[in-house]
Amino acid sequence: MRQNWLIMTHDLTTARPASNRIRAIDVARGLALVAMAIYHFTWDLEFFGYVEPGLTAFGGWKIFARCIASSFLFLVGVSLVLAHARGVRWRPFLIRLAQVALAAAAISLVTWLAVPGGFIFFGILHQIALASLLGVLLLRVPALVLAALAALVIAAPFFLRSEVLDTPWLWWVGLSSVNPHSNDYVPLFPWFGAVLLGMAAAKLAQRFGIFERMRSWSPPRPLRVLEAGGRHSLAFYLIHQPVLISLVWIAAQLAPPPAPDPRVGFSRACQAQCIEVRDQAFCSSYCGCVMEGVAELPGGIAGLDRNSGDGSQQTRLQEIAAMCTGETDLQQLDSPDE
């Protein structure tokens, strides 16, 4: 289900002659694919209850996921420059863009049907499609300017968040006061920054002849499987998670995991989302307040997923979140030492 920030670029621009490909980049994509599969398999184990709730949302696993996502988006920028630096090749670009956009729409539809409370409305594929369009417009911008723009894009969520952008129609921007709930949320800010960094690095590599030297490298036989995967990364992305989650589902039928405590999972998920925009002291108090409020809903915490499509429940959850935000802010004002 959750595609959590992880996609590869298999040359959004593509259609490069095989003899002119930089095989090291395909190998790099292949390595990222392996890392992505490891993360998704761990998430699947968590989803079915084989590992502790919230494991992949904290600490090293969270950093791991973000590094993988950043590497794929970085390669999107590199691919744009490699394919279009001498002029945009519109036909292959638009064909590949259409493929990615259709795949993104399909993922949104499937996850909306399967997990309406956390469906993927702007995930990594959506980001790649938008970033590619924006990146093409910036192909003539110098490398140092691209790097500066990247820094601004990455820093923006720390300084420019606003309640004005809280409307769902603007969640794709990434500057709402609180991140919306989704199993894969990769908004324009800050993630477009990784694409800009890839473009800047590619321009510098071209200037110093690094790509020409890389073209002479041929991967040893053990790495050619990674190279093949890197060439077909979009197909791998669309196929691997249904395969992995099906395998874990089969295992769950044969050897069911112990029943999880929904309170633990809810608390960790709340903390993971909250810590994106507030400090740890605030989040601990805030999430405790929210848990108390949710416990009073029909079905309590355990009923959240079961009733995720209930509009009245969603309204009540927003009210609880707003109330707890106000109460926690007041507590911190009254207790400045905390």
DSSP output for 225-281: HHHHHHHTHHHHHHHHHHHHHHHHHHHHHHSPPPPP-HHHHHHHHHHHHHTTTS-HH
Q: How confident is the model at residue 277 (pLDDT cuts 50, 70, 90)?
A: confident
Residues 213, 217, 218: CA angle, nearest 5 degrees? 165
Q: pLDDT at residue 99 above 60? A: yes
Task: Report the percent of the chain where pLDDT is more than 90.
Answer: 57
pLDDT tops 80 at residue 7: no
CA dist 282 to 264, 275, 285, Å? 18, 9, 5
User: Is the pLDDT assigned to residue 69 strictly greater than 60?
Assistant: yes
- Report the C-alpha gap between 160 and 176 in whole angstroms: 9
- pLDDT band, very low/low/confident/very high, at 6 (cuts 50, 70, 90): very low
pLDDT at 121 over 90: yes
The arithmetic mean of pLDDT across residues 25-49, rounded, is 93
pLDDT the model gives residue 2: 45
Q: What was the pLDDT predicted at 16? A: 44
Q: In this predicted structure, what is the pLDDT of residue 260?
A: 67
Q: What is the pLDDT of residue 337?
A: 54
Please indicate whether residue 277 or residue 165 has the higher confidence score (pLDDT). Answer: 165
Tokens 């279009």, located at residue:
84
CB 69, CB 124: distance < 8 Å: yes
Greater model confidence, 215 or 334: 215
Task: Give the residue among 75, 63, 73, 100 at the shortest CA–CA distance from 22.
Answer: 75
pLDDT above 90: residue 63: yes
- pLDDT at residue 133, as a whole number: 95
Half-sphere exposure of 154 (CA within 13 A, CB side): 14
Closest alpha carbon to 177 in 160, 201, 156 = 160
d(CA 176, CA 298): 29
Tell whether the model's pLDDT for residue 338 goes beyond 50: no
Q: In the predicted model, what is the mean pLDDT of residues 14-43?
A: 83
Residue 13 has a pLDDT of 40
Residues 6 or more apart whose Cβ sits within 8 Å of residue 73:
9, 124, 127, 128, 131, 191, 192, 194, 195, 198
- Rounded to whole angstroms, the Cα distance separating 286 from 274 reads 8
Q: Is the pLDDT of residue 110 over 70?
A: yes
Across 51-60, 66-75, 178-187, 261-270, least confident range: 261-270
State the number of CA atoms in the 13 A half-sphere of 246 facing the CB.
5
> In this model, does residue 244 exceed pLDDT 80?
yes
pLDDT at 240: 93
- The per-residue b/e assignment along 60-77, b for 16 or more CB within 10 angstroms, e otherwise, is ebbebbeebbbbbbbbbb
Which residue, chain included where needed, has tokens 């904290």? Answer: 58
In this prediction, residue 251 carries a pLDDT of 95
Rounded Cα distance, 94 and 132, in Å = 10
Q: What separation in angstroms does the CA of 88 have from each of 95, 158, 184, 266? A: 13, 34, 30, 47
pTM of the model: 0.77
Q: Any alpha helices (H) in 17-142, and if so which ranges?
A: 23-47, 59-84, 90-114, 124-137
Query: Whole-angstrom Cα distance, residue 190 to residue 197?
Result: 12
Residue 92: CB partners within 8 Å, gap ≥ 6?
13, 14, 15, 83
pLDDT of residue 336: 57
- The number of beta carbons lying within 10 Å of the beta carbon of residue 59 is 10
Output the six-digit token pair for 4.
């959590």
Convert the pLDDT of each residue in 278-301 to its tens digit: 888 899 899 999 888 888 877 777
Tokens representing 200 are 């800047």
